[in-house]
Amino acid sequence: MPAIVRPGPLLVSLLVTVISSLPGCIPSGDLVPQAELADDAALPAGAAIRHAAREAGWPQAQWWRAYGDVQLDAWVERALAGSPDLAMAAARLRQAEALAGVAAAAQAPQVGLDAALQRKRWPTDNFYGPGPLADASTWNNTAAFALSYDLDLWGRLRSQREQALSRARLAATEQRAAALALQGSVVRAYIRLARQHAELDIARAELHQREELLALARERKRIGLGTEQEIAEAEAPLPEAHRQLDLAHEAIALSRHQLAALAGAGPAAAAELERPRLALHAAAQLPSALPLELLGRRPDVVASRWQVAAAARGIEVARADFYPNVDLLGSFGRAATQGGALDFLRHDKLSWGLGPALSLPIFDGGARRGRLGAETAGYDLAVEQYNRTLVQALKGVADLLVRLHSLHEQEGFVARGLTTAERRVELAREAHERGLSDAREALAAQGGVFAQRRLQQQVLAERLAAQAELWVALGGGVLEAGSAPADERLQPRAVRLQLPGRR
């Protein structure tokens, strides 16, 4: 058990000076962190832990407005306002801020009032009597103000406060991450809805083509040029065409429900959604090179840095437990065990006390070393998680740039394929108009156009979705030219990642 010493108030300053030079009786040994943060030169998006206590500015651009759809803009705002996930993230942030306030309050003087009014019968035994109180019933009343103030000579309370603040900032970055993920989910679902509407148009066109082929086969049979076999062959694809049309309607309904759920609303809200008006044919607005300092603003990267900062403060708290603790204690009050119920308020019943209290750890069976070891391992874990997050962030951006370049190339191939298919239809129609071929050939040639249009819509939707993922991967948007972050030191070195195949 720690030894408690209470010297008089005149010795306070001398005692504090002496104790400040005392080492802990329990050695902390060689328990030090082993993990190292990733080298900024090797991983450009890194940031040193000494700067983790400063705020990082987020890109403010509402990146989803680049798609030019007013309904999408309104739906993203609705999702941000009504999402249960964001509401829970906000509650976690308020909880972390409240706990940070509790940690900060521990550094302030603590004052309390204790009062008790008791009618008490005193027994006759070796402790109380014989004496005036033996077998007597008297008032036993007390009232006192108590003061305590931890001098925090080794910074334990200060480190606890900084640790709580880091956790509050971590909760803030997690709230930002949840908002960013929600924005990305809404945009991707909306792009998918736009693609499904385009596929519905294609399915309707295919069904119309099949019905025209069937009508042509029946007409040929009526005038004696066709057979029942031709009619049966024309009828065979119709059930599948109807099924594809029904699947397209189903996919649209499910996407509407998903968008309603992302907005925190019931399925009925999906009825408000009209057909998307995305600029599907607009080229991706990408610079020739993307500055990687934006990675330093990603919520997951910033959250990892705050986690490292909190873990570092945890080590300081654990180390402070090895040293003596000095509290300044004081009391002022009144007490009376005889007389009337209010006699304890008399001047001659006044009592007071003031002085420091020393707690010196001598032996604890290894508990403090265990806590320090756990905090040290926790710091190593936080550092390695930060390093992993940084590496994965770099990989994710690089992968998206490669995918965007590939989809850009695929758009050209699909456009040429569509042009070829449409040219084939025109040639088949010209041949039919000149009497060189049957009308069925011109209708059958439309199948290639439908396939190419479906592929074109797929590639366009994938490109816009990849663009959205890139903006999310960059922390929520690309900063305007000339804008600077809140703290330049938080940003990694000026390294730029070239888009593959571009100059």
Confidence of residue 297 (pLDDT cuts 50, 70, 90): confident
**Would you give the DSSP letter of residue 50?**
G
Task: Check residue 1 and give its pLDDT.
Answer: 36
Q: Which of 296, 85, 282 is nearest to 185 (CA)?
A: 85
Relative orientation angle of helices 299-320 and 156-222, to the nearest 10 degrees: 160
Whether the CA torsion 311, 85, 393, 54 is positive or negative: it is negative
CA atoms of 254 and 263, how far apart (whole Å): 14
Decide: helix, strand or coil at residue 224: coil
Task: Check residue 299 and give its pLDDT.
Answer: 86
Confidence of residue 128 (pLDDT cuts 50, 70, 90): low
Confidence of residue 300 (pLDDT cuts 50, 70, 90): confident
Contact of 9 with 354, CB cutoff 8 Å: yes
Q: Which two tokens stand for residue 346?
A: 């008399």
Q: Is the pLDDT of residue 9 over 60?
A: no
Confidence of residue 48 (pLDDT cuts 50, 70, 90): very low
Confidence of residue 38 (pLDDT cuts 50, 70, 90): low
As a whole number, the mean pLDDT across the chain is 77
CA atoms of 179 and 59, how far apart (whole Å): 13
Task: Check residue 366 and give its pLDDT.
Answer: 84
Q: What are the tens digits of pLDDT across the range 70-91?
A: 999 999 999 999 888 889 989 9
Contact of 190 with 276, CB cutoff 8 Å: yes
Average pLDDT over residues 430-454: 81
Q: Which of 149, 157, 119, 150 is nearest to 331 (CA)?
A: 149
Residue with tokens 């909190």: 310
Q: In what order do the strands lie in the sheet with 350-360?
A: 3-5, 350-360, 325-336, 141-150, 110-116
Q: Which of 245, 69, 184, 230 is nearest to 466 (CA)?
A: 184
Residues spanned by CATH 2.20.200.10 within the chain? 110-151+325-360
Q: What are the tens digits of pLDDT across the range 185-197?
A: 999 999 999 999 9
Is the pTM here over 0.85, yes or no? no
Task: Check residue 404 and give its pLDDT.
Answer: 87
3-state helix, strand, coil in the chain (%, to 5): 60, 10, 30
Q: Is the pLDDT of residue 288 over 90?
A: no
Residues spanned by CATH 1.20.1600.10 within the chain? 36-107+154-323+364-498
Write out the E strands in 376-484: none
Task: Check residue 185 and give its pLDDT.
Answer: 93
121: β partners? 137
Q: What are the tens digits of pLDDT across the range 208-220?
A: 988 888 888 888 8
CATH code 1.10.3430.10 for 36-107+154-323+364-498: no
CA atoms of 275 and 277, how far apart (whole Å): 7
CATH assignment of 110-151+325-360, among 3.40.718.10, 3.40.640.10, 2.120.10.80, 2.20.200.10: 2.20.200.10
Residue 482 carries which side chain, given as an amino acid letter?
Answer: G
Q: What are the tens digits of pLDDT across the range 59-70?
A: 446 888 888 889
CA 495 to each of CA 53, 387, 389, 398, 492: distance values in angstroms, whole numbers, following the listed order: 24, 18, 18, 13, 8
Task: Check residue 496 and give its pLDDT.
Answer: 31
Task: Check residue 16 and give its pLDDT.
Answer: 45
Write out the E strands in 122-246: 137-139, 141-150
Task: Check residue 286 and give its pLDDT.
Answer: 47
